[in-house]
């Protein structure tokens, strides 16, 4: 049974709240082919990244266990987590800007949900259960029907296998292929946590693609909801040209009808179950299936295509799309500022980290017969693939500070971290009260120079006078 879409209710939710499953038809139009090319490119990219090796590590390897994040030959530690701010905001501004200009282009072309559902799992649907008519028939059959058991069972197993494969690729991002391989070949009990993570990921993916599908876009996805605030009359959306199409009707009978012949092809192909002719709707993921469907029919009728097309609401209303609007300028400006700051920040990341702290439970300062001592704990991380010798020196205006035991420096192995005590001494004669100083970490080869501010604590100098 097909439901007639209305603007008042969500097609995929029945009046009693039950799930209404859609069996959308497929249209192999030019937009669909272009989207498929993009989808396969994205899937290939996603699957290839853990396999590509750059400077001895996978192109993307988020090693949570060791808190090393390898990105295209650069290793970032937790100390660079602040860069994530630029990644997230940059991503946000990019989506804001593209949505203001091109509507939900992300949803239709690049969102993993669409990419996998439309170009992997619906392909499996067609393979096992045929076209939308055949699938609807299978839906209606009882489970006692052997052919339903066979076809749906086959689809079930294919889904399970695909979800399992995607879950493995996903996990490879966090434990790398060399880390993943023994987990695949060993018994499940040898790596219980990884096994459970994999089972849960597979299960979640399976549930999503088998049962949940467009509900994710309609109800859960926050971006789907943000779009109403991000789209305005000048954003390019997938829209129906009402002026040209209406009044709809059979062409032969009445000369006064518009170009829409009410064939309902656009409704049949819609993966979220809406009627695009009812205007811009929350459910529309801008997947272009209705464009392909309508263009196909219009070509057959020898009428111009584009009755449903990429256009802004203003354009569909007979006006001109304005590209320069306050919001596009603002989003673009924020995006550019973010990009500049992110680039500068990323270029300043050095292949080492240097952090200072005061060791807990120790005296703030210590007095010896000849000097005042302050103790710090230095944390030095060598994030490069080569061992380096590091030196720590103190710089301060006016007071001579000695760093104990630092003349020979220390060699830190690649990708390791060293925590070492740092004792700073100031001669009693030189001591003039508390002061600020700068500790400098530099590598022997001069490639790295990191500064940390510190505060030297001590008694009132008058109490030291004999």
Partner 1 sequence: MTEDQDRDSQPVIMPHSYDGIQEYDQSLPNWWLFTLFGSMAFAFLYWMACFVTETAADDRVTLNAELDALEARQLAAVKNLDDATLWKMSRNTQTVAEGQAVYNSLCFTCHAPNLAGIKGLGFRLNDDLWVHGNTPTAIFNNISEGITFEGKPTGMAAQKVLGTGRIAAVTAFLLSTQKEGSMKTALRKDEPSQLNP
Q: Give the C-alpha separation, 456 to 462, whole Å.
A: 17
Tokens of 189: 């009990």
Answer whether 358's CB lies under 8 Å from 375's CB. yes
Binding of partner 1 by 416 (CB under 8 A): no
Neighbours of 251 (CB within 10 A): 15
Which C-beta is closer to partner 1: that of 66 or that of 400? 400
Of 123-131, 249-257, 364-372, 449-457, which segment contacts partner 1 by CB under 8 A? 364-372
User: Is the four-CA dihedral 303, 308, 312, 318 of positive or negative sign?
Assistant: positive
Residues 233-292 that bind partner 1 (CB under 8 A): 264, 268
Residues 217-236 that bind partner 1 (CB under 8 A): 219
Tokens of 305: 């295509």
Which C-beta is closer to partner 1: that of 405 or that of 416? 405
∠ CA 337-343-347, rounded to 5°: 150
Which C-beta is closer to partner 1: that of 235 or that of 406? 406
Minimum CB separation of residue 456 from partner 1 in Å reads: 15
Residues 1-20 that bind partner 1 (CB under 8 A): 1-4, 6, 8-9, 13-19
Which C-beta is closer to partner 1: that of 4 or that of 462? 4
Of 298-306, 319-327, 365-373, 386-394, which segment contacts partner 1 by CB under 8 A? 365-373
Q: Return the H-helix or E-strand segment holding 230.
A: helix 222-230
Tokens of 141: 């059959």
| Exposure letters 179-192 (e unless 16+ CB within 10 A, then b) | bbeebeeeeeeebe
Minimum CB separation of residue 358 from partner 1 in Å reads: 10
Minimum CB separation of residue 268 from partner 1 in Å reads: 7
Binding of partner 1 by 369 (CB under 8 A): yes
Q: Which of 89, 134, 350, 371 binds partner 1 (CB under 8 A)?
A: 371
Neighbours of 118 (CB within 10 A): 22
Q: Give the C-alpha separation, 268 to 4, whole Å.
A: 10
Binding of partner 1 by 405 (CB under 8 A): yes
Minimum CB separation of residue 405 from partner 1 in Å reads: 6
Minimum CB separation of residue 356 from partner 1 in Å reads: 14
Q: Give the C-alpha separation, 4 to 2, whole Å.
A: 7
Which C-beta is closer to partner 1: that of 26 or that of 311? 26
Binding of partner 1 by 445 (CB under 8 A): no
Q: Give the C-alpha separation, 187 to 393, whole Å.
A: 52
Helices (H), 308-466: 313-316, 326-348
Binding of partner 1 by 373 (CB under 8 A): yes
Which C-beta is closer to partner 1: that of 126 or that of 250? 250
Sheet holding 410-412, edge to edge: 410-412, 388-395, 435-443, 449-456
Binding footprint of partner 1 on the chain (CB under 8 A): 1-4, 6, 8-9, 13-19, 212, 215, 219, 264, 268, 359-363, 366-371, 373, 375, 377, 402, 404-405, 419-421, 423, 425, 427
């Amino acid at each position: 049974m097909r439901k007639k879409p209305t603007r008042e209710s969500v097609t995929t939710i029945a009046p009693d709240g039950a799930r209404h499953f859609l069996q959308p038809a497929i249209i192999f139009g030019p937009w669909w082919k272009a989207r498929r090319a993009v989808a396969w490119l994205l899937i290939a990219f996603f699957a290839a990244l853990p396999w590509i090796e750059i400077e001895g590590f996978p192109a993307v390897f988020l090693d949570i266990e060791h808190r090393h994040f390898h990105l295209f030959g650069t290793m970032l530690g937790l100390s660079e987590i602040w860069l994530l701010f630029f990644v997230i905001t940059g991503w946000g501004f990019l989506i804001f800007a593209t949505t203001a200009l091109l509507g939900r282009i992300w949803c239709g072309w690049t969102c993993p949900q669409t990419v996998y559902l439309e170009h992997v799992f619906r392909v499996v649907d067609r393979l096992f259960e045929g076209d939308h008519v055949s699938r609807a028939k299978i839906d209606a059959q009882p489970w006692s029907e052997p052919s339903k058991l066979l076809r749906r069972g086959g689809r079930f197993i294919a889904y399970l296998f695909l979800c399992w494969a995607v879950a493995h690729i996903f996990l490879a991002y966090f434990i790398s292929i060399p880390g993943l391989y023994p987990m695949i070949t060993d018994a499940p009990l040898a790596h219980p946590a990884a096994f459970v993570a994999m089972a849960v990921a597979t299960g979640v993916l399976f549930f999503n693609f088998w049962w949940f599908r467009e509900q994710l876009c309609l109800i859960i996805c926050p971006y789907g909801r943000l779009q109403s605030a991000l789209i305005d009359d000048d954003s390019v959306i997938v829209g129906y040209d009402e002026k040209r199409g209406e009044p709809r009707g059979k062409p032969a009978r009445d000369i006064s009808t518009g170009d829409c012949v009410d064939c309902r092809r656009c409704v049949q192909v819609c993966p979220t179950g809406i009627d695009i002719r009812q205007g811009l709707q929350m459910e529309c993921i801008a997947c272009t299936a209705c464009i392909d469907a309508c263009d196909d029919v219009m070509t057959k009728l020898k009428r111009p295509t584009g009755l449903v097309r990429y256009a802004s609401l203003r354009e569909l209303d007979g006006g001109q799309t304005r590209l320069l609007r306050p919001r596009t300028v603002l989003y673009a400006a924020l995006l550019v500022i973010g990009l500049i700051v992110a680039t500068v920040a990323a270029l300043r990341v050095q292949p080492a980290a240097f952090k200072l702290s005061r060791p807990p439970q120790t005296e703030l300062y210590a007095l010896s017969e000849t000097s005042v001592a302050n103790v710090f704990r230095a944390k030095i991380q060598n994030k490069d693939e080569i061992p380096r010798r590091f030196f720590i020196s103190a710089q301060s205006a006016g007071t001579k500070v000695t760093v104990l035991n630092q003349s020979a420096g220390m060699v830190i192995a690649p990708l390791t971290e060293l925590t070492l005590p740092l004792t700073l001494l100031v001669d009693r004669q030189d001591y003039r009260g508390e002061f600020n100083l700068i500790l400098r970490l530099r590598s022997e080869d001069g490639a790295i120079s990191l500064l940390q501010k510190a505060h030297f604590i001590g008694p009132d100098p008058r109490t030291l006078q004999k």
